[in-house]
Amino acid sequence: MVLAEGMLWTVLLNAPLLVGGLWVARAGFGQPRGVARWLAAAVVAWAWATVGLELLGASGLMTRGPLLAWSLLGMAIAWGTRRFRPHPIGDDPEAFPSGDPSWHAEATVAVGLVLWASVLLGMRSLLLPVKVMSDGPIYHLWFAARWWEAGELHLVAAPFGDNVVTYFSAVGDLWLSWLMIGWGGDRLARVGQAPFHLMTWLAVYAMARQVGSGRSAATIAAGWMVTSSPFLIFGFEANVDTILQAGYLAAAFFFLRYAMGDGDGRTLAVGALAAGCCWGCKPTGLVLVPPLLAAVGLAVLLRGGGARRTLGHLAILAALPMTTAGYWYARNAILTGNPLYPVQVEVLGRTILTGWYAPEVMKGSRYYIDPSNWRAGVDILLQVLDPRLAPIWLSALLGAWMLPAPRDRRRARWVWGMSALAVLNAAIYWGIIPYRTQQRFLFPAVGLAAVPVAMLLDRSRALRVVGVVLLGLHLLTPQTWPWAGAGEEGEIPWDFSPMIPNTMAGPIGLVPPGSAWWASVSASRAAGRTAEVIALILAVVGPLLIGALSMLAARALGRASDRPGGGWPRLAVGGGGAALLVGAGLVTYPWALPEPLRFFPAFRDYYRGWVALDRLAGPDGARIAYTGTNLPYFLLGPGMKNTVRYVNVNAHPDWLMHDYHREAARAGRPNWPGDMPGWDREEQDFDAWLDNLRRARIELLVVARHNPGEPWPVERRWADAHPGLFRPSYGSNPEDPLFRVYRLEPGS
C-alpha cells in the first residue's frame, strides 16, 4: 500500500510537469520537434518545480497537496500558451539542418555500452545502501530529508562536516526533496541525478548536431562525455554535480542556437532558465555561469536587430537566471548582509563583505592544490579523460576535425568557439576554483570538448568505430590497461604526481568465476544457504544480462530513430527499456539481506553502531540527537523513521553558525583561522545543553568521532559523568572506539 501510494504521488506530481513542459516548449518557447523540444521541456519543468519549492518552502507549504496544485497550475498555464500562442518556429523532425542524419550500427553499440554502465550503476544506487564516499549522506540527502520532514525550507546545521554547506545554494537538494515528498521516502532521491544524466547526454548530442556533426558521431561523443569515470560513478549517487552539469550544458546549447541565428528571444529565455538552475545548484555555478552569460551577451550585441530588441534580450539574460538562483543569495543577504555568505569578499585588501575567513585560508584546505603543481593537473586531466581516449580529446580541441578541410566553413567557427569555451572552463577550474582535487569541477569543460570530438569522429566511419572500441575499453577495463594492473602505480608511464591516484577500474565491473568464487558457491550450498548461492550467481551473470538487455534496447532505439513517427518502433523502445529496467532490478536487488542491511552500507567505522541504533530506536523510530559525525543521514534509519537533530551545547538552542559569527564579529573576531569555524562549540554549558535536549524531546544520544586518535566530543564526557541521566546503551561493553549511544532516562 505504501509503495503504491508513493508511485501514485510521484506520477501525480511529475506528469503535469512533463506534459506542461512539452506544451510550453512548443507553443510558448517555439522549440522545434525533437531533441531541442525535449531539452526545453526538461528545463521548463525543472525551473517550474524549483520556483514552486522555493515559494512554498519559504511559506511552510512544501507538502504534497500544495505542490500538486503548483504542478497543475503550471500545466494549466502551459495549456493556455498552447491554445493562444503561435506555432513553433518549425516542425521539421529535428532542428539540425546539416550533418549526416543516418543512424549507423556503431551508434547502436555506443548507446548499448552507455546504457549498460548507466543502468548497472543506477540500479545499484537505487536498490543498495547509499555509499559513504559521496556528499549525499553528508548533506545533500540530509538537507532534503529535513526539508521534507518539516515541509519548509530552513537552514540545517552541519557542524561536523564542511559547515559552510548550510549556506550553499541548493537547487539540486531541492530536487531530491521533491522526489522524497512524492515517493514518501528516500528511494528515488538516492538516484535523483539519473534524469539529469540523460539530460547531459542529450545536451552534448544537441550541441554537436547544431554545429554540423552527424547523428552517429554526436551520439558516440556524447557517450564519451557521460561515461567519463568520475562523472559516471558519481552521477548516480545522491550528489548534485550531474544536475549542475545538465543545467550548464543545456544553457550552452540554447545559447548556441541563438548565437547561430536558429532561435529568437524565446530560445535565449530557455537558455537563461537553464543557466539559472545551474547557478543555483551550488557555489561553483557562481564561477561557471557568468562567463557563459557574458559570451552570449556578446552574441546579443553582435546580432543587432535594433536597440529595443537588444535591450530586451540583455534583460532576459540578466533577470531569468535569478528566478531560480536568486532565492539563495537573497536569503543569505537577509540573514547576514552578505549574499555570498560565508565567503568573505575583499577588494584591494579591503573587506567589502564579511565572511568566515579570508580567501587565503582556503589554501589550507585538504582539497587545495597549488596551481603551479602542473603535474597533479595533468594526472587529474588524464583521470577524467582516460589516457587511452585523451589523444583524441586533445587533438579534437586542437582542431584535428578541420583536416583535410571542414565540410562547412560557416559552422566551423562555432566549433572553434565551443573549443575555446572548453579551454576557458578548464582554466577556471585550475586557476580560480581552489578545490582542485575535485575532478567534478572540470566536467563542464569536458562536455563542451565533446563537440569537437564529435566533429572529428564524423570525418569517417573508421574513426567512429575506433571511438566505440575505445568507449568499450574505457568501460570494461582499468584506465591503466594494458600498461599496468590494479594498484601498480609504479608501472604507469604518465604518473606525474603521487598525490593523484591513476589506477581507476572500469565502471562496468565483471566478476570472473574464479576458484574463490567456486569455493564460496560450494560452501554456501553445503550450508544450505540458497539465497547466498543465488546472490553469488547473480554477481557473475547479472552484469552480463544487463549488458545483453542494454544492447537490445539500443537496437530498438536505433530502429525507432530511423523511423520517426512510427508507432511500433516507439513501442519496441518502451518495451526494451522496461525489460532492461526490470531485469536490472531483479538481478541487483539484495534478496539475501534483511531490511536494516539494505539501508546501512558496509562502512566498518560505524556499521555496528548504526545497526545497534536501529535496534534501540525500535520499529516506530525515536528522537535522536547526534554529535561528532558528519554522516547524519544514516541516523534517520530505514524508512526515514527517526527524527534526528544536532543540539547546541550552550544557551542558544536555535542559533546557527551565522548567529555565532555575528557575536564573534562584535567581539572583534570576524574571521576564523581555518576553513571550518568552531564558534558554535566554543561556549559549552552542560545545564544549557541538557535543557536543549529536553526541549527537543530527545530519547537517544549518539556520540561519534572520526578516528580513535582524536578526542571524543564533550557530550561523551558529560553523558559518562551523569549515568543517572544518560544510560549507556551501545559502545561501552563491548567497546566501540568510534560510536556510542546513550538513552536519556525518562523525566531526566
Beta-bridged to residue 740, according to DSSP, are 703
The CA distance from 421 to 431, in Å, is 15
Q: Which one, of 102, 108, 220, lies nearest residue 554 by Cα?
A: 108
Distance CA 446, CA 4 (A): 40
Residue for grid cell 574513426 = 463
Sort strands 623-627 and 350-353 into parallel, antiparallel or unpaired.
unpaired
Residue 336, amino acid: T
Give the pLDDT band of residue 692 (cuts 50, 70, 90).
Answer: very high
What pLDDT is recorded for position 564? 63
Reduced to 3 states, what is the DSSP secondary structure of residue 324? helix
Using CA atoms, how far apart are residues 539 and 519, in angstroms rounded to an integer? 14
pLDDT in tens, 170-225: 999 999 999 999 999 999 999 999 999 999 999 999 999 999 999 999 999 999 99
Lowest mean pLDDT among 102-116, 142-156, 355-369: 355-369
Query: Cβ(216)–Cβ(200) under 8 Å?
Result: no
pLDDT tens-digit readout, 382-403: 989 999 999 999 999 999 998 8
Question: In whole angstroms, what is the distance from residue 21 CA to residue 577 CA?
Answer: 23
Q: Where are the alpha helices (DSSP H) in 140-193?
A: 141-150, 171-183
| Nearest residue to 240 (alpha-carbon basis) of 308, 198, 205, 194 | 194
Kind of pairing between the strands at 623-627 and 700-704: parallel
Cα gap 431→400, rounded to integer Å? 26
User: Given this model, what pLDDT does residue 85 score?
Assistant: 65
Contact 191, 301 (CB under 8 A): no
Cell numbers placing 427 = 582554466
Backbone angles phi, psi at 704, to 5 degrees: -135, 170
346: which strand partners?
351
Does the pLDDT value for residue 135 go beyond 80?
yes
- Check: CB of residue 641 under 8 Å from CB of residue 615: no
Residue of 514 and 271 predicted with greater confidence: 271
Spatial CA neighbour of 82 closest among 37, 135, 141: 37
Which whole number is the average pLDDT over 249-262? 95
Contact 324, 50 (CB under 8 A): yes
Phi, psi values for residue 545, rounded to 5°: -65, -45
Reported as type and span, the H/E element at residue 599 is: helix 595-599
* Residue 93 identity (one-letter amino acid): P
Say whether pLDDT at 88 is over 80.
no
With a pLDDT cut of 70, the percent of the chain lying above it is: 96
pTM to 2 decimal places: 0.94
Start-to-end C-alpha separation, the chain: 39
Q: Region 519-523: what's the mean pLDDT?
A: 86
- 10 Å CB burial of residue 226 (0-12, 13-18, 19+) is buried
Cβ atoms 463, 221 nearer than 8 A: no
Whole-Å CA distances, 294 to 212, 290, 418? 24, 6, 14
Q: Edge-to-edge, what's the strand order for the sheet holding 643-646?
A: 643-646, 623-627, 700-704, 739-744, 726-730
Judging by beta carbons within 10 Å of its beta carbon (0-12, 13-18, 19+), is residue 353 exposed, middle or buried?
middle
Q: What is the average per-residue pLDDT within 273-301?
A: 95
Compute the mean pLDDT over every residue in the chain, rounded to the nearest whole number.
91
Q: Which of 556, 411, 392, 415 is nearest to 462 (CA)?
A: 392
Question: Which residues, 6+ apart, have CB-to-CB distance to 125 below 8 Å?
Answer: 131, 190, 191, 236, 237, 238
Lowest mean pLDDT, pick from 43-57, 428-442, 538-552, 553-567 = 553-567
- Contact assessment for residue 417 and residue 208, using Cβ atoms and an 8 Å cutoff: no
Give the angle 437-438-440 at the CA atoms, nearest 5°: 150
Residues 299-304: contacts with CB within 8 Å, 24+ apart? 299/255, 299/258, 299/259, 300/268, 303/259, 303/261
Question: What's the whole-number mean pLDDT along residues 641-646?
Answer: 97
User: Which amino acid type is present at position 5?
Assistant: E
Q: Which three cell numbers stand for residue 419?
A: 573549443
Least-confidence region, from 58-67, 548-557, 641-650: 548-557
Confidence at residue 214, expressed as pLDDT on a 0 to 100 scale? 93
Is the separation of the CB atoms in 540 and 516 below 8 Å?
Answer: no
At 719, phi and psi to the nearest 5?
-65, -45
Q: How far apart are CA 742 and CA 14, in angstroms?
A: 42
pLDDT higher than threshold 60 for residue 236: yes
Instruction: Kindly report the number of other CB atoms within 10 A of residue 597's CB atom.
Output: 17
CA 55 – CA 51 distance, rounded (Å): 6
> What percentage of the chain has pLDDT greater than the value 90?
68
Q: Comparing C-alpha atoms, which of 299, 401, 286, 416 is closest to residue 339? A: 286
Residue 528, C-beta contacts closer than 8 angstroms, at least 6 positions apart: none
SS3 53: helix
Please provide residue 96's backbone torsions phi and psi, each rounded to the nearest 5 degrees: -115, 105
Residues in the chain: 748
Q: What is the DSSP string of 543-582?
A: HHHHHHHHHHHHHHHHHHHHSTT-HHHHHHHHHHHHHHHH
- Whether residue 501 contacts residue 489, with contact meaning beta carbons closer than 8 Å, is answered with yes
Residue type, 491: E
List Cβ neighbours of 666 (8 Å cut-off, separation of 6 or more): none
3-state class of 377 per DSSP? Answer: helix
Q: Which three cell numbers stand for residue 77?
A: 498555464
In whole angstroms, give the CA distance from residue 204 to residue 457.
Answer: 14
Q: Residue ranges of the alpha helices (H) in 184-214?
A: 194-210
Residue 90: band (very low, low, confident or very high) from pLDDT cuts 50, 70, 90: very low
* 703: confidence class by pLDDT, cuts 50, 70, 90: very high
Angstrom distances, CA of residue 582 to CA of 180, 539, 578 = 22, 17, 6
Please give the average per-residue pLDDT across 682-693, as a whole number: 96
